[in-house]
Amino acid sequence: MGKPTGFKDYPRQVIPYRNVHERLLDYQEIFTPATVDKLQLQGARCMDCGVPFCQSDDGCPVYNLIPEWNDLIYRQQWRAALERLHSTNNFPEFTGRVCPAPCESACVLGITEPPVTIKNIEKTIVDRGFEEGWITPQPPQKRTHLKVAVVGSGPAGLAGADQLNKAGHHVTVYERADRIGGLLMYGIPNMKLDKAVVQRRVDLLAAEGIVFKTHTLVGNNTDADIQLDHLTAENDAILMAVGAGEPRDLAIEGRELEGIHFAMDFLTENTQTLLDHGNPDSAKIHAAGSDVIVIGGGDTGTDCIATALRHGCSSLVNFEILDRPPEIRADDNPWPLWPKIFRVDYGHEEAAARTGEDPRSYSLSGKKFVGENGRLTGIETCQVSWESGRPVPVEGSEKYWKADLILLAMGFLGPEQKVSQSSGLELDARSNYKAEYGDYQTSIPKVFAAGDCRRGQSLVVRAIHEGRKAARQIDRFLVGESLLP
């Protein structure tokens, strides 16, 4: 490494978010620009450890060559760092913004000191690459006669399409929404991933020869614009990358009341109207003046909190059925595993700035939605204690909470079932498309699956990894071998 004692000489310095009170007034990205000279010193903190767990299974799912590009930016070789970054990750501008950075949790330095700011470095490398004009269309020099259809344009679908196009195949991506990007476009708010960043990469992929078709629903049913059977007959291989779009519901009394919505419907409509009209004021699901409760404590719940605050909600509470996490790792959660600890994400910080307190309430379970004249007015809950891994209601802990908008952000159960039910795609025990990891072939000949629809709800970076590996298997299926990584 360029600075063997860097981890001793320089403290960890994270690139800060924008001022919380300023960013609450708009939908622009929450990030501030990096100071290059300071970031080079952060790269110097990479300690040349014997086994870089940051790029292991417990660290980076795409096995980014993190120590290499940390060293390169310390030496001011930014373009070389970009090449190393792109060699393992098709879309570092996405992961550098939205990934929770398990690489940092697995950083060897993090055993005794604050870890290297890997996520900040990744984002800055690729952003500088675009700013300097280093990232340009690179269409394949040779084309095969083979055609591949990719169904779904989220991170798995785009990564798979990118790799297959690099191999020279003719790739067409089908997306049922009006814009390409899937989860990246509509599932993640603009303040965490600017949609111009997504469109910039989509435009690059199109310039490299990938064909994109929007407003196109694929399936074997009357709702479909293209039947899967027809797509299979017209192509040499299919990659299903439709995500895990079946939300987990809260099937308690009063669920039919108006004012209860799935989180993804809320977030999608917010982004749709923001892109179409410049602001989300015309969105049908709007939190302005509402008493809002978000049920679910993951990233999607945080995004709902941040969006509702920008709408101008009157009050906001976030329910979590789990206990409050500890401040430090528990004994059964050792390094380099992902630390299950208490965290304050951007939405929690914004809620605290607006209301003066953290919005989260833990160990709560909904018992009944309450309403009048078909309209939601609140929810009854009870406290739960966890016994043998299951929540048990605490007697006498019932409580009523006022609410006229409740957002359900409790995760996803797998892909929507219309395609599998009508086409005969076999499912696994968790209702995902059955396709073995490493092979990715489904029960239908020449149809492959990757990403959340195969493995279940997970991280953007894992979807990219699956799209890349499925592309390699498809390439081998088509031509007998593959030079794809």
Query: What CATH number does residue 109 fall under?
Result: 1.10.1060.10
Same domain for 261 and 379, yes or no, is yes
Total number of domains constituting the chain: 3
Per-residue pLDDT tens over the stretch 147-167: 999 999 999 999 999 999 999
pLDDT bin (cut points 50, 70, 90) of residue 137 is very high
Both 401 and 258 in a single domain?
yes
Instruction: Report the pLDDT value the prediction gives residue 47, as an integer from 0 to 100.
Output: 87
pLDDT at 424 over 90: no
Q: Which tokens is 348 given?
A: 């929690």
Same domain, 314 and 329: yes
- Is pLDDT above 90 for 53? yes
Average pLDDT, the chain: 96
The domain spanning residue 168 has which CATH number? 3.50.50.60
27 or 423, which is more confident? Answer: 27
The answer, yes or no, to whether residue 193 has pLDDT greater than 90, is yes
Q: Is the predicted pLDDT of residue 422 greater than 90, yes or no? A: no
Report if residue 484 sits inside a domain. no
* 375: number of Cβ within 10 Å: 10
Band of residue 232 on the pLDDT scale cut at 50, 70, 90 = very high
CA 384, CA 415: separation in Å to the nearest integer? Answer: 30
The answer as to whether 335 is a domain residue is yes
Give how far Cα 109 sits from Cα of 57, 117, 121, 396, 464, Å.
17, 11, 16, 47, 26
Range of the domain at 446: 147-245+413-479
- 280, 191: one domain: no
Co-location of 406 and 417 in the same domain: no
- Whether residues 117 and 15 share a domain: the answer is yes
Rounded mean pLDDT, 243-264:
97
In a domain, 222, yes or no: yes
Query: Is the pLDDT assigned to residue 418 strictly greater than 90?
Result: no
| Shared-domain flag, residues 346 and 268 | yes
Residues 300-311, mean pLDDT to the nearest whole number = 98
| Residue 485 is assigned to a structural domain of this protein | no
Average pLDDT on 474-481 reads 98
Mean pLDDT across 198-219:
97
pLDDT surpassing 80 at residue 421? no
For residues 356-381, average pLDDT: 97
Mean local confidence (pLDDT), 364-376: 97
Residues 278 and 355 in one domain: yes
Please say if the pLDDT value at position 2 is more than 80: no
Q: Please give the Cα distance from 334 to 144 (Å, whole number).
A: 48
Are 318 and 301 within 8 A, CB to CB? yes
217 and 108 within one domain = no
**Has residue 446 got a pLDDT over 70?**
yes
Same domain flag for 176 and 217: yes
296 in the same domain as 260: yes
State what percent of residues in the chain have pLDDT above 70. Answer: 100
Residue 114 has pLDDT above 70, yes or no: yes
pLDDT of residue 1: 67
Banded pLDDT at 485 (limits 50, 70, 90): very high
Give pLDDT tens digits for 274-301. 999 999 999 999 999 999 999 999 999 9
Q: What CA–CA distance (Å, rounded) separates 92 from 123?
A: 7
- 27 and 75, same domain (yes or no): yes
Band of the pLDDT at 371, cuts 50, 70, 90? Answer: very high
